[in-house]
Amino acid sequence: MRAALSRRSLLKAGAAGGLAAGFLLGFRLPLARAAGEFEPNAFIRIAGDGGITLIMPQVEMGQGTYTSISMILAEELDADFARVAVEHAPPSDKLYGNPFFGIQVTGNSNSIRAFWDPLRKAGATARAMLVAAAAQEWKVDPATCRAAASQVFHDASGRNLAYGVLADIAGSITPPTDAPLKAVKDFTLIGKPLKRLDTPGKVNGSVVYGIDELPAGVKFAALTLSPVQGGKVVKVDDSKAKGLPGVRQVIVLDDVVAVVGDHTWAAKQGLAALDIAWDDGPNAAIGSAEVWAALRAASTQKGAVAKAEGDADKALGDGDRLDADYEMPFLAHAAMEPMNCVAHVTADGCELWIGTQVMTRVQSEVAKALGLPPEKVIVHQHLLGGGFGRRLEPDMAIISARIAQKVDSPLKVIWSREEDIRHDVYRPVYRDVMSASLKDGRINAWTHRVTGSAVIARWFPPAYSKDIDIDGVDSAADIPYGIPNLRVEFVRKEPGVVTTGFWRGVGPNNNVFAVESFIDELAHKAGKDPVAFRIAMLDKTPRLKAAVQMAAEKSGWGGALPPRAGRGIAAQVSFGSFIATVIEAEADADGEVKLRRIVSAVDTGIPVNPDTIVAQIQGGLVFGLTAALFGEITIDKGRVQQSNFHDYRMLRINEVPAIEVHLIESGERPGGIGEAGVNPCAPALANALFAATGIRLRRMPIDRDALAGRKPA
């Protein structure tokens, strides 16, 4: 049966969608050029039969980037988009490094921002070479030729040649360094809501995520990691597990125990039958109370100054002063595809099947763990069943490879949902200490101290300097409002008991919450309408001003609502996008919250694929509202207390209202969009609930007891 499922080869688009473009799984070594092929750069390959393969430097985790990247390349290449196929890039920082980081990483909503220029240049250069090849064949001036739909035309003589026919000759043309880029008005693909290339296989079960791989002879493992980070195995009694049907092997490493079986169920049964004694290690006494006490204490210290203008301390004394603190909890990622990796370790090296946001890091870290040179670790990339920052970490690959090292066959290691939630890298707890003064109805002074983890210091040390986490102050140091006296500080405080990481929306989630909640509080203190108050301070950020105006207009801002219902707005500049969001919500007498309507106005510059932008904002809002309504990871005795979707709740379809996304026309460079939709949720919801109830919630997730008046907010 399994042999019939050889799915590693070319997967043409499914019949269900009638989609013309092909989707290619797997990859091959970079620049291994076949005869008759034209491979002008690391992103484009044109075969003699005219087939065009585009190699994706960024990974597809649902955000639509494979389609958008292909559109940019095909636009400048003048490729027939209906006939392009896409391929995962192999690991190579040199060829596929993200220009923003220098390593091969997908995150921070920067796929389009970082690759906009390189991809356009790659496409335009290849097009120029194909045009030059045709001109050489025809012995005409290249300037008299034009390209369209994978062909070069010489209109004067009525001749044309297909790219495939030109492939061989084009390979001998010297690449120009200054191939002209198209003017925005000449775009034929960019700006159109083209169909996604990755979705047909996702509606009929044929798509293969990392978790679906079944290399010949594969066995299956279930694992349990130390319940407390830093703990170690003391003793394992496997006498009850070893006799169970389908159980093959029990593997005990210092911090993980795994059972190998003929299938996952056998492995799970074996794992459940083990009696494991752990030494919980130094974190065993720590709980959420200790984490919060330490964070709050740290937030009273002066921080590293990320931004200073005017004299904030002096100006705080000049006007009507307001102080407030805001707090954000730990969060797990809970991607629908649980952590997993298929690993095959042999005497010669290691082969991995995985979906990851960090190809080269997986390769190098697994190599390090196994004592191999990196080139001995082969990484097969896949589509990701959600990333959200969780797959920016290589831990699942390292652990799987360490287990697979003890097994004589390929091994598929799958984290149970409980292991996935309890061994995440968590969105940090943050505390924001804010002060401001109002003078003549405007903000005269503003201080904002962010206290929390410096995720970037762990994840990418070169970007951490002067004690400031650039992500930790993102959308705070660059606050969009005109405020004459301003200081933004960062205090690093690591929780220790768990590792923290990037989580969709990253630093701006915390900062947009603090800034937009506090702005709202100041508007009310000044006796102003929250929209008018913001607009009056946005002269220096006209794109955001326009977004606020549009969101207010489309949401019916100021219109009548039933009792205990309200509208809240949040405005943000994040990831190069300018977004305003109005949430309409109500709270009943028992504190239960119902979302009524959401309206977002979005200026993200030139829209590459407008439908993808709308989808990302819709989805980001649901992701952010899930956190605002339910999201909190708590710790007791060093252990994460949540485990699965019954106690780490997700928003469901019956809880999601109508969401309207309005795009604002723009000719500016494209901004990022995957993270941005998450940012406005906490503040817009808290502001709406204040409008509905008069109760100000300064801590996420929302407190239903406070909304019901059972306890102070």
Residues that bind other proteins in the complex, under the rule CB under 8 A: 1-2, 4-5, 16-17, 19, 61-64, 195-196, 198-200, 202-209, 211-212, 214, 220, 245-246, 262-265, 334-338, 383-388, 414, 416-417, 611, 615, 618-623, 626, 644-646, 650-654, 656, 658-659
CB nearer to other proteins: pick between 211 and 585: 211
CB of residue 662 to other proteins, shortest distance in Å: 14
CB nearer to other proteins: pick between 210 and 638: 210
CB of residue 33 to other proteins, shortest distance in Å: 32
CA–CA separation, 647 vs 195, rounded Å?
A: 37
**Residue 278: strand, helix, or coil:** strand
> Is the distance from CB of 355 to CB of 385 less than 8 angstroms?
yes
Query: If we measure between CA atoms, which residue out of 686, 484, 664 comes closest to residue 567?
Result: 686
CA–CA separation, 642 vs 664, rounded Å?
A: 40
Beta strands in 168-244 (DSSP E): 219-225, 232-237
CB nearer to other proteins: pick between 443 and 585: 585
Name 227's Cβ contacts closer than 8 Å, sequence gap at least 6.
278, 280, 422, 638, 639
Largest CA distance in the chain: 85
CB nearer to other proteins: pick between 174 and 654: 654
CB of residue 404 to other proteins, shortest distance in Å: 16
CB nearer to other proteins: pick between 43 and 575: 575
Q: What is the phi-psi region of residue 328: left when phi exceeds 0, alpha when psi lies from -120 to 50, beta otherwise?
A: beta
CB nearer to other proteins: pick between 262 and 588: 262
CB of residue 214 to other proteins, shortest distance in Å: 6
Would you call 9 exposed, middle or buried from its count of C-beta atoms within 10 A (0-12, 13-18, 19+)?
Answer: exposed
Tokens 């974190």 map to which residue? 283
CB of residue 405 to other proteins, shortest distance in Å: 22
CA–CA separation, 661 vs 303, rounded Å?
A: 38
Query: If we measure between CA atoms, which residue out of 495, 523, 502, 497 comes closest to residue 422?
Result: 497
CB of residue 278 to other proteins, shortest distance in Å: 22
> Is the distance from CB of 237 to CB of 223 less than 8 angstroms?
no
CB nearer to other proteins: pick between 435 and 612: 612
> Is the distance from CB of 467 to CB of 453 less than 8 angstroms?
no
CB nearer to other proteins: pick between 16 and 293: 16
Is the omega angle on the peptide bond into residue 373 within 30 degrees of 0, that is, cis?
Answer: no
CB nearer to other proteins: pick between 292 and 630: 630
CB nearer to other proteins: pick between 66 and 116: 66
Beta strands in 538-675 (DSSP E): 565-574, 577-587, 593-603, 635-636, 639-640, 658-663
| DSSP summary character for residue 255 | S
